[in-house]
Chain A
Amino acid sequence: KNQVEQSPQSLIILEGKNCTLQCNYTVSPFSNLRWYKQDTGRGPVSLTIMTFSENTKSNGRYTATLDADTKQSSLHITASQLSDSASYICVVSVKNNNDMRFGAGTRLTVKP
């Protein structure tokens, strides 16, 4: 069983709408959690990195939250744009080493 589960697997929304992507993990001990955006045919681009003590981190219209107690994170996208269409990958790092666990990603499609 993957230690990082993302949901939904795919999502279609209309331009201008908000959406929230979920990431649940069982990785322990926890070091940090990253959200990446990956456009088709491109490498992943880092959106946010959060450590244990951080609850919220924003990057423009992207806001990530972290609940280390329940081991859940979410990525909220506000006022979506067509350029937000991409895969969003959640990655959780293990403390004291650089071992990383990857989610399978959520494929977001924003339609006009």
Chain B
Amino acid sequence: DAGVIQSPRHEVTEMGQEVTLRCKPISGHDYLFWYRQTMMRGLELLIYFNNNVPIDDSGMPEDRFSAKMPNASFSTLKIQPSEPRDSAVYFCASSLWAKETQYFGPGTRLLVL
């Protein structure tokens, strides 16, 4: 299995632009998580899905952030409009069940200028 796949690996954009991050979870995993990691705040859970349905989005910082999971093999995290403070590494992870081991992707390093 290729593991969790994220794209792009790096993204540099200008403030105000729309950014879309993509994730392909491990096949058969029913849970998908989006995280953000910064030096200041560490690792933060943004949102997670169960069987493609968003369960808890309380970690999403504000309305500029949105996430979708149109099918079991694909999810997107969108930031519109992006701001410099959104610069971070965004991880996607998947697991079989909520309390089981989560497998992380390599992350997308986002820089908003």
Contact = CB atoms under 8 A, between A and B. Distances in A.
A46 B94 CA distance: 12
Chain A: number of interface residues, binned into ranges:
10 to 19
A43 B91 contact: yes
Contact of B101 (A43, A49, A89, A97): A49
A45 B104 contact: yes
A97 B31 CA distance: 13
Nearest to B91: A43
B107 interface: yes
B56 A31 contact: no
27 contacts: A42-B106, A42-B107, A43-B4, A43-B93, A43-B104, A43-B105, A43-B107, A44-B104, A45-B104, A46-B102, A49-B99, A49-B100, A49-B101, A91-B43, A97-B56, A98-B48, A98-B55, A98-B98, A98-B99, A99-B56, A100-B45, A102-B43, A102-B44, A103-B42, A104-B42, A105-B42, A105-B43
A31 B99 contact: yes
A32 B4 CA distance: 23
Contacts of A89: 42-43
Contacts of A49: 99-101
A98 B56 contact: yes
Given A49-B101, A100-B45, A44 B56 contact: no
Given A42-B106, A43-B93, A105-B43, 16 more contacts: A31-B99, A42-B107, A43-B4, A43-B91, A43-B107, A45-B104, A46-B101, A46-B103, A98-B48, A98-B55, A98-B98, A99-B56, A100-B45, A102-B43, A102-B45, A103-B42
